[in-house]
Structure 1
Amino acid sequence: MIRFFHYGPPRHGLATLLLTLFLAMPCVAAEPATATADDLESLAATLEDPKARERLAAQVKGLIAAQKAVQKTEQAGLVGRMTQKAGDIRVGLATLAIIAVAMLLARLLRRMVDRTLAAAGEDSVRVNRYLPMLHRVLRVLIGLTGLLALAQLWGFDPLALLNSEVGRRLASSLVTIAVVVVAALVGWHLLHGAIERYLTATDSDGNLRQRSGRARTLLPLVRNAAFMVMVVIVGLIVLSELGVNIAPLLAGAGVLGIAIGFGSQKLVQDMITGAFILFEDTIAVGDVVKVGEHAGLVEDISIRAIRLRDLNGALHTVPFGAVTTVVNMTKTFSYAVFDIGIAYSQDTDAVAALLVDLGAELQADEVWGKSIVEPIEVMGVDRFDPSSVVIRARIKTVPLERWSLSREFNRRLKQRFDTAGIEIPFPQTQVWLSRTPKKPPPPEGGGGQTAGQPSP
């Protein structure tokens, strides 16, 4: 039998206990006490007695005041709210459910994205670069949603915070920053992907399409410039949304730009000269050029300088400001020029016919014919050297093939000359040796001539 607090008759203690359990312990997960018929009769008798009813009402009012005081104390801080919710088993089960659902959603969304990318086929290589970013964004969104649900469950009421003035301002800034960053990322990836697809496009046979030198030079520069402008704009917008006054930054940037302009006139000259050279399409990536004393293959062009790779593998960086003349040896087409020296005793017409036949042979070749644009042109006897007659000929070729074609032509020409017995002169030195007879010694005694007398 349970003993109650005694505030008069036992029936008064039973009523007090029931009200205490109802008002002060609403979150206790224990099984509720079952009131018997005797308890109910005692409560009815207490309510019928005026004095007992007054005492009971006073006790109820005291319990209500104590309950309100406890609630205010518990709601005053984070620990109090957590303590208030910790006794409810439903809160614990709901917390576990939210965490489980968040983890399940993250796994399901990742599998869905993987299957979508796997079904993309040939585009999967290009799309796979966005896979880590997409997974990261999904995980962040699911995590934020789960945190908001947990905060709402544990009594923090994040929606009320969002409805306040500070919350609305913070939410507006975060949404603006997210929209700007996402729009910038989407725009950058669209631009980058379009340029990459254009430069690496292939035909129906899988061969790389030949793009113009201007496109291969200017499009990477446009991409880099767009990236820098996008970073600056997004950075300024983010700083402005975070409450930073960007007006002094813009003013400082203007002053700094003027100072840099005065202090780096050579750099500005290089950039302006480079812009004119690029827009005039004088040089492009992949050309073989001669710039001043430097010559080689153009590997890279920036807004300030040219990078040339010579035959020995050395890399030459030439600022545009130092460029006075440009010799582009592979612009649109090239000529393989041959100066062929033969002996004076050879028939020049026969040699010219041999050159025409050799040019036709090269043009009909399955490999070398692709490098020849027009048939060989024999220009005739060009000059007379001290030891040879020079016949000049040339073949029009596609860019960058003149040197390899010249070597193959010279190899076959040597074989043709050897077969036809045509002499290729080369400098020679002839040495003539002559022997002079020795003079006999003068006779001894009086048989000789007297000194001072002339010989007959």
Structure 2
Amino acid sequence: MFTGLIASIIFGLLVIRLRRPVAHLIRNRSLSQRLKQPSLQESLRIFSGLWYWPIVLMVLVSAINLIGIGEDNQKALRCALFTTVLLIGTVFLSTVLQHLFRSRKAETIKHSSAYKERFLSLLHALLRIVIAIAFIDILGRIWGVSLLDFAQSSTVGRAISNALSSIGLIFLVTWLLWVVLDTAIQEALKPPVSKRGARQPSTRVKTILPLLRNAIKIILVVICAITTMANLGINVAPLLAGAGVVGLAIGFGSQQLVQDVITGLFIIIEDTLSIGDWVVLDSGHAGTVEGLTIRTLRLRDGKGFVHSVPFGQIKAVTNQSRQFAFAFFSVQFTYDTDVEKAIELIRETGDSIREDPFLKYNLQGPLDVFGVDKMDLNGVVLTAQFRTVSGGQYAVSRAFNQRLKKLVDNSPSVHFAQTYPQQVLLPQRQGELVQETPPESSPVVLPQPSRT
């Protein structure tokens, strides 16, 4: 008996040791065979993962038979055989369902909506749970224990089964609600792929829906946890009362946090700013909005640095990414410049901007030339502007300045004003008193101030 027991143990360990090499030999086929017969390859893959279980169970029953005596050995052998068949059948059925739902899911992704895809995943998970429960019950019946009989015959079993049924129903309803709501939010955020002219999701939707998704998740988890504890026999009334008191204390103790949350809520609802907007805050922070949480605003400035600003600290917001902007030009020329020629050069520069294939899509109208805006000691100031898309005014301004500089450099009658003092020639007016009377019709030269 001792020798047979040692031999059984050694054989079982050898089978376990060689399970992976043998499994590799079973499922190893050429690429052409795998492509031509995918169902056979799937069956071989399932068998390669289960081939050693019957042998291990037989070895275990043989060891028990060598140790024990009587008719129980025959019963243990039959139970082991039935357990082996049940295990193989359960794994095979689970794998077939997985393969079936995988192929159906692939077809659904190509030809159907996301709702059907999520519901197929939910149905697959429910079927796997049912298979697991059936496996446990049948396995118990094979070895003389029935979970269903225990749940129906005894008071404790009925209480446990009722509680588990209620909890399972709660989890199922919560899961179903989450699948529906989460899929709806994801579909609303997803940009259209194949439909031409389809409406893109707005930045307001992209900002509010992720926050709404997180809020729905928290609410569902809290409700599910409370109802689960109630079905387990836990009195949740003191917990809810305590949670209310704690929430009230936290509200009084963190007024700044409450202010941040409420301010952020109104900023999001009023669509003051959205993800992707370039904003300037009254606190001095400026940058692109990268994210919004319940309490803070996250900005990335022009140098790549990230700034997190609580909503409660925001008093005024300058949003530079809404509808349109203006590329404003203020150009100063000398007094001896031909103003009409300068305006002509400005219009010519505007026409070249409108004809540029890369810049014309940033424009929303022609160049508006306002003419002479003011005159000061340095010269004459001419102003003009382009109406552009939001964010496009910077590229238009740089291109306009560069092209106008080239035109002015090539024009003999148009000159940019200088910022340093200039020598100005003024004709003498008749009857004007001067310290030294120059010759008649000779100009009066104003001396240039020293630079020292």
Asked if TM exceeds 0.5, the reply is yes
TM-score by length of 1: 0.69
Q: Does 1:96 align with 2:84?
A: yes
Q: Deviations over 1:329-372 (max 9, x none)?
A: 22221111111222222222332233233323323333222211
| Equivalent position to 1:201, from 170, 191, 198 | 191
Return 5+ residue gaps in structure 2 as ranges. Answer: 1-69, 423-446
Partner of 2:441: none
Partner of 1:365: 356
Q: Which amino acid aligns with 1:189?
A: V
Larger CA Rg, structure 1 vs 2: 1
The RMSD of aligned alpha carbons is 3.2
Q: Deviations over 1:107-161 (max 9, x none)?
A: 1111112211222344799798999987765544323211110111222122211
TM-score by length of 2: 0.70
Query: Given that residues 117 and 124 in structure 1 are in contact (C-alpha distance below 8 angstroms), is that contact kept between their aligned partners in structure 2?
Result: no
| Equivalent position to 2:162, from 138, 149, 172 | 172
Q: Deviations over 1:356-403 (max 9, x none)?
A: 333233233332222111222112222224323221111111122222
C-alpha spacing 1:350/1:299, structure 2 compared with 1 (3 Å)? same
Matched residues in 1 for 2:369 and 2:288: separation? 29
Q: Secondary structure at the match of 1:341?
A: strand
Matched residues in 2 for 1:208 and 1:386: separation? 56
Partner of 1:426: 418
Q: Secondary structure at the match of 1:273?
A: helix
Q: Secondary structure at the match of 1:420?
A: coil
Structure 1 position 97, deviation (Å)? 1.9
Q: Secondary structure at the match of 2:184?
A: helix
Q: Secondary structure at the match of 2:410?
A: helix
Query: Given that residues 421 and 449 in structure 2 are in contact (C-alpha distance below 8 angstroms), is that contact kept between their aligned partners in structure 1?
Result: no
Partner of 1:308: 299
Q: Does 1:275 align with 2:265?
A: yes
Which residues of 2 match residues 379-394 of structure 1 at below 5 A? 379-394=370-385
Q: Does 1:109 align with 2:124?
A: no
Q: Does 1:285 align with 2:271?
A: no
C-alpha spacing 1:156/1:227, structure 2 compared with 1 (3 Å)? same
Partner of 2:212: 222
Matched residues in 2 for 1:197 and 1:227: separation? 17
Residue identity (%): 36
Which residues of 2 match residues 321-400 of structure 1 at below 5 A? 321-400=312-391
C-alpha spacing 1:412/1:196, structure 2 compared with 1 (3 Å)? farther
Q: Which amino acid aligns with 1:141?
A: V
Matched residues in 2 for 1:189 and 1:177: separation? 18
Partner of 2:22: none
Which residues of 2 match residues 15-34 of structure 1 at below 5 A? none
Structure 1 position 261, deviation (Å)? 1.0
Q: Does 1:87 align with 2:74?
A: yes
Q: Secondary structure at the match of 2:273?
A: coil
Q: Secondary structure at the match of 2:381?
A: strand
Structure 1 position 408, deviation (Å)? 2.3
Aligned pairs, how many? Answer: 353
Return 5+ residue gaps in structure 1 as ranges. Answer: 1-82, 435-456
Matched residues in 1 for 2:73 and 2:123: separation? 36
Q: Secondary structure at the match of 2:290?
A: strand
Matched residues in 1 for 2:291 and 2:391: separation? 17
